[in-house]
Copies of this chain bind each other. A is one copy, B any other.
Amino acid sequence: MKPIDALVSSLPEGRVLTDPDVIDSYARDRTFVAPGKPLGVVLAASRDDVVTTMRWATEHRVPVVPRGGGSGLAGAAVAGDGSIVLSLARMNAIRELSPADEIAVVEPGVITADLDRAAREHGLMYAPDPSSYEISTIGGNLATNAGGLRCVKYGVTRDSALGLEVVLADGRVIETGRRTMKGVTGYDLTGLFVGSEGTLGVITAATVRLRRAPAAPPATFAAEFGSLRDAGAAVSAIMAAGCQPSLMELIDRASLEALDDWLNIGLEPDTQATLIGQSDATDSQAVVERMERLCLENGASFVAVSTSPQEAEELIRLRRLDYQAKERLGACLVEDVCVPRSLLPDMITAIEETSARHGVKILTVAHAGDGNLHPVFIFDRGMPEPPAEVWAAADEVFKRALELGGTLTGEHGVGLLKRRWLDLESGPVVTEVQQGIKAVFDPLGILNPGKAI
């Protein structure tokens, strides 16, 4: 009996897909095609399915690639030859939602926005909101420590993760963390699993923190700037004034053009950048008026302010559609560098110079309040992977971010994409330590090999 047949017979019927055409769509992520052909896909419906799969994988030494919604942008969920894709998408129950303790216990396949909607019914919210939150899963968010628009005020996924249930490489189950707001019993294994891209274990449940949803409707502004540097200065001024925006997004000219081509947003010829900000404070209107003033003082040519939830939704929808607008232009290589906030204008300038020098189209949006930029490098859709000039441009941008005291990845993760630059940021001793940790959890090296570290 082939190993895959042993797996099929040890799981309930219908759990394993082996049709090559079907498998293919489970072996890639949003930007990266699969580097090989997996043996099959397990559609886990329970923790027991995950345990069975990992025991089998340990016995047969088969690589396992855990997978959520497949909306990743760094290749963390792509699967290679001879591996098994372990999809957690069907494990999508919200097991518990406690308004009194402001926590929820969820399975990894829960769609991020669904958890937020369930929390809102109790006056609460689930804060982390990656742009893909209508298709991404909590499990994928945990695996990459996803950020999002609101994290400028409410923190990243790590900041909402209290405890985890994890199936280890050999099929043993552990619980990490807690249900309480604080706790320091033993090493922080919860934090270690978050962001580890499925290389240390398979998360089968998470206890997450919910927060009070703002009572009043948010107030929102959108400001147009004739230069990116002015927009960057406005961001610094707004943050330094203690406005605590609940969202602070910068969109560059090239990205605005892509949106305008698609959605006809009425882009003015002189606009080089749009800044969108929001406050969800109880005095949100006053705060946004302060932000408006700071934009005008820093050279904004036009600022629109709105306290209508519908208008706000429309403004922010544009930002959320940004990546789709870029996908219309060709294949995309997406970076995710993060720099100290005050150096945002320097980083944007460097990106523009790189774009010109290499003749590569680069469109940038930024979670500006966090100093987190997403330069998207466009190339011909027909190519199997980015051409040399795109890699050269990407290399320059990564290196410049590190020179500025920044990091390779703010919220998308390392995946496959950034491994070639990892040593520049981490250094050999950190790499050795990380490999040591990996070996503690996964001595056979079967959990998502070749990713994250």
Contact = CB atoms under 8 A, between A and B. Distances in A.
Contacts of A188: 145, 158, 188, 191-192, 194-195
A187 B453 contact: yes
Contacts of A246: none
B429 A340 contact: no
A342 B186 contact: no
B180 A100 contact: no
Contacts of A182: 147, 151, 156, 338, 367, 370-372, 407, 410-411
Interface in A202-253: 212, 215, 236, 239-240, 242, 244
Interface stretch (A55-63, A354-362, A432-440): A432-440
Contacts of A440: 433, 436-437, 439-440
Contact of A413 (B102, B184, B196, B439): B184
* Range class of the A interface residue count: 35 or more
Interface in A333-372: 338-342, 367, 370-372
A426 interface: yes
Contacts of A174: 427, 429-430, 433
Nearest to A430: B174
A283 interface: yes
A179 B340 contact: yes
Copies in the complex: 2
A116 interface: no
Nearest to A155: B159
B183 A409 contact: yes
Interface in A72-126: 98-103, 123
A309 interface: no
A181 interface: yes
Interface in A399-416: 405-414
Given A180-B371, A429-B174, A101 B342 contact: yes
Most buried by B among A178, A180, A405, A437: A180
A189 interface: yes
Given A174-B427, A180-B410, A429-B172, A100 B187 contact: no
B100 A414 contact: no
Nearest to A431: B186
Nearest to A418: B185
20 contacts: A100-B236, A100-B341, A102-B239, A168-B433, A175-B427, A180-B405, A180-B410, A181-B341, A182-B367, A184-B411, A184-B412, A184-B414, A185-B414, A186-B430, A187-B200, A189-B434, A212-B244, A282-B282, A433-B441, A436-B441
Interface of A: 98-103, 123, 144-145, 147, 151-152, 155-156, 158-159, 168, 172-176, 178-189, 191-192, 194-196, 200, 212, 215, 236, 239-240, 242, 244, 281-283, 338-342, 367, 370-372, 405-414, 418, 422, 425-427, 429-430, 433-434, 436-437, 439-441, 452-453
Given A180-B371, A186-B414, 12 more contacts: A102-B239, A152-B181, A178-B406, A180-B339, A183-B338, A183-B409, A185-B418, A186-B425, A186-B426, A186-B430, A187-B192, A215-B242
